[in-house]
Structure 1
Amino acid sequence: MLSNALQYECYPEEFEKQVKKAYGEEEFKRFMKMLPSFNAKYQTWYSESRSLIKLLLPDRVSDFVKQYEKPKTARKSIDFENYVIEDCLQGLSVTKGWEKERVVGPEAAIPRFTQQLNILKATQKRFESSLFDIKQLVQADLFDSELGAAKELSNNKFYRAAGALAGVVLEKHLGQVCENHSLTLSKKKPTINDFNELIKQNDIIDIPQWRFIQHLADIRNLCDHNKKTEPTETDIVDMISGVDKITKTVF
């Protein structure tokens, strides 16, 4: 709404004409009742937006600020190139000559404010990315913890349980890899091999990695399903180290 408010304050007749043409007289009246004053609301918006950008996009803070603040060094002249939002809030208009030819005025703040809006919009993607990063870190920590538990089980010769737990970690990780790449399976309960095939088909892993994951899936199946044959210590050591490798190299 602030963008509309600034447009209206700079070009009231044109703004009114365009809104009425698009929405009609009654809608225009309702719209105008909701339209804030740019001068009255901008400072609050600026302070809140700057704090958010400082948190999520710290490298863009200076760019955001310079759209608003006057430069610290005195300007020899003020024109469209160096007119800032602070000038607009002070109602500054520059003219020249005895005929008072207009050089620049509040309308020059419109592209400045548009740039600020674009920087602010970028924080949304950064926020989503930050949440993604946090999720990945938490999950990686959880996987490390579960693999640590699998090692402890293996050290105490509970090989089948250790292999089964490592298999769960591998399955979860491959599921996350598919989610990261927006890949889905119609199967309700996909297995390691299902995920493995899908990520190979989409060139996320190469043939050696695919075969290695197949090998790990075989050990997992031995631990989960084959009660006649017991997994060996070597099987489980390979399983745990292999899963650890995959969780740190396949994303």
Structure 2
Amino acid sequence: MKRLKAIFLAAKEDFEGGYLSSMRALVQAEVFDSELEQANELLNSGYFTAAAVVAGVLLETALRELCEKEGISVGKLDKMNADLAKAGVYNKLIQKRITALADIRNSAAHGKVNEFVEQDVTDMIRYVSLFLASHLIS
């Protein structure tokens, strides 16, 4: 136990100093970047429906992370989106954009490919990337 005391004290110091949450943010940023790359690769390969689903899952995951960060209960995408806007994490315009992107994701996931076009997915991926950069990865 005496030999492990220094390790425990160092871990406690890292935790109290917030270094572990910084490490979590770095890992999270890497995962988000990888998922964005996957969505872009699918889009560039002509699989824009699959790209929309991946980007939509990434957006929902980001909303979940934001809710946890802000102490807001996690739930369905629409509720998290409304709660985050209500809490002032972002404005109504962003809330409406997220709702539109969620609609694209839902249409893609349910095979309703006539409800969106490839350019919608391109814009979706671009916006999700910007949203992540301004709300989570900063």
Letter in 1 for 2:89: I
Deviations 1:66-116 (A, max 9, x none): xxxxxxxxxxxxxxxxxxxxxxxxxxxxxxxxxxxxxxxxxxxxxxxxxxx
Indicate which of 140, 149, 157 corresponds to 2:46. 157
Are residues 1:233 and 2:122 paired? no
How many Å apart are 1:211 and its aligned residue? 1.7
Structure 2 length-normalised TM: 0.83
Over the residues paired in the alignment, what is the CA RMSD in angstroms? 2.3
Change (3 A) 1:246 1:228: closer
- Distance between the aligned counterparts of 1:217 and 1:238, measured in 2? 13
How do residues 1-16 of structure 1 correspond to structure 2 at under 5 angstroms? none
Corresponding residue for residue 169 of structure 1: 58
Corresponding residue for residue 106 of structure 1: none
- What is the SS of the residue equivalent to 1:229? helix
Structure 1 runs (4+) greater than 6 angstroms displaced: none
Letter in 1 for 2:90: I
Structure 1 length-normalised TM: 0.47
Change (3 A) 1:197 1:130: same
Corresponding residue for residue 19 of structure 2: 130
Select the structure that is richer in helix: 2
How do residues 73-222 of structure 1 correspond to structure 2 at under 5 angstroms? 124-126=15-17, 129-185=18-74, 187=75, 190-191=76-77, 193-222=78-107
Residue segments in structure 1 that go unaligned for 5+ positions in a row: 1-43, 57-120
CA contact (8 A) 1:160 1:230 kept: no
- Distance between the aligned counterparts of 1:150 and 1:124, measured in 2? 34
Identity of aligned residues (%): 32
How many Å apart are 1:173 and its aligned residue? 0.7
Structure of larger gyration radius: 1
Q: Which has the higher contact order (CA 8 A, sep 6+)?
A: 2
Change (3 A) 1:154 1:124: closer
Residue segments in structure 2 that go unaligned for 5+ positions in a row: none
CA contact (8 A) 1:159 1:231 kept: no
